[in-house]
Structure 1
Amino acid sequence: MILIVDDRPENLISLQKVLQAHNFEVDTASSGEEALKKVLKNNYVLIILDVQMPDMDGFEVAETISGFSKAKDTAIIFLSAVNTELKFITKGYLSGGLDYITKPVDINVLLLKIKTFYRIYEQNRKLNEVQEKLLEEIEFRKQAEHKKDEFISIASHELKTPLTSVKGYIQLLQRSLNRDDKAMAQNHLEKASIQLEKLNELIVDLLDISKIESGKMKFNMKSFYADNMVNNAIEMLQQSNPDFKISKLGKTDDMIFGDEMRLEQVVINFITNAIKYAPGTNQVNVTTHIKDEKLYLAVKDFGIGISKEQQHKIFDKFYRVEENSNRFNGLGIGLYICSEIINRHGGTIGVNSVPDEGSEFYFIIPTTEEEILKNQI
Structure 2
Amino acid sequence: MILIVDDRPENIIALRRILEKHQFEVDSALSGEEALKKVLKNNYDLIILDVQMPGLDGFEVAESISGYSKTKDIPIIFLSAVNVNKQFISKGYASGGRDYLIKPFDPDVLVLKVKTFIKLYEQTCALQNMQQVLVEEIEFRKQAERTKDEFITMASHELKTPLTSIKGYMQMVDRSVDRDLKEDAKKYLERTRQQLEKLNILIDDLLDTSKIASGKLEFKNRVYEIDPIIDNAVDIIRQTFPSHSIIKTGEAGAKVYGDQIRIEQVILNYLTNAIKYSPFSTEILFDVSLLSCDEVMINVTDSGIGIPKDKQEQLFTKFYRVEESSNRFQGLGMGLYICAEIIKRHHGRYGVDSEPGKGSSFYFTLPVYHNQEQTLKS
In 2, Cα distance between equivalents of 1:237 and 1:155: 25
In structure 2, what is the equivalent of residue 160 of structure 1? 160
In structure 2, what is the equivalent of residue 6 of structure 1? 6
In structure 2, what is the equivalent of residue 293 of structure 1? 294
In 2, Cα distance between equivalents of 1:294 and 1:14: 70
How far 1:91 moved relative to its partner? 0.6
In structure 2, what is the equivalent of residue 176 of structure 1? 176
How far 1:62 moved relative to its partner? 0.9
Letter in structure 1 aligned against 2:182: K
Counterparts of 1:358-373 in structure 2, within 5 Å, are 358-368=359-369, 370-371=373-374
In 2, Cα distance between equivalents of 1:162 and 1:199: 6
Contact 1:58 1:78 in 2 (8 A): yes
Contact 2:59 2:95 in 1 (8 A): yes
In structure 2, what is the equivalent of residue 230 of structure 1? 230
Counterparts of 1:72-83 in structure 2, within 5 Å, are 72-83=72-83
In 1, Cα distance between equivalents of 2:283 and 2:22: 74
How far 1:30 moved relative to its partner? 0.9
TM-score (norm 1): 0.91
Counterparts of 1:241-320 in structure 2, within 5 Å, are 241-290=241-290, 291=292, 293-320=294-321
Deviates more, 1:235-244 or 1:202-211: 235-244
SS of corresponding position for 1:115: helix
In 2, Cα distance between equivalents of 1:283 and 1:20: 78
Contact 1:7 1:30 in 2 (8 A): yes
Identity %: 58
Letter in structure 2 aligned against 1:86: K
Contact 2:3 2:26 in 1 (8 A): yes
Q: Deviations over 1:30-57 (max 9, x none)?
A: 1111112222222222221110001211
How far 1:243 moved relative to its partner? 4.2
SS of corresponding position for 1:53: coil
In 1, Cα distance between equivalents of 2:321 and 2:376: 32
Counting matched residue pairs gives 375
In 2, Cα distance between equivalents of 1:248 and 1:17: 81
CA change 1:28–1:204 in 2 (3 A) is same
Q: Deviations over 1:84-112 (max 9, x none)?
A: 12211111111011121111132222222
How far 1:186 moved relative to its partner? 2.0
Letter in structure 1 aligned against 2:39: V
Letter in structure 2 aligned against 1:304: I
Letter in structure 2 aligned against 1:210: S
CA change 1:247–1:74 in 2 (3 A) is farther
Deviates more, 1:177-186 or 1:6-15: 177-186
Contact 2:293 2:368 in 1 (8 A): no
Letter in structure 1 aligned against 2:208: D
CA change 1:247–1:206 in 2 (3 A) is same
Q: Any gaps of 5 or more consecutive residues in structure 2?
A: none
Letter in structure 2 aligned against 1:360: S
In structure 1, what is the equivalent of residue 142 of structure 2? 142
In 1, Cα distance between equivalents of 2:306 and 2:79: 66
How far 1:21 moved relative to its partner? 4.0
In structure 2, what is the equivalent of residue 209 of structure 1? 209
In 2, Cα distance between equivalents of 1:318 and 1:335: 9
In 2, Cα distance between equivalents of 1:292 and 1:28: 64
Q: Any gaps of 5 or more consecutive residues in structure 1?
A: none
In 1, Cα distance between equivalents of 2:336 and 2:160: 22
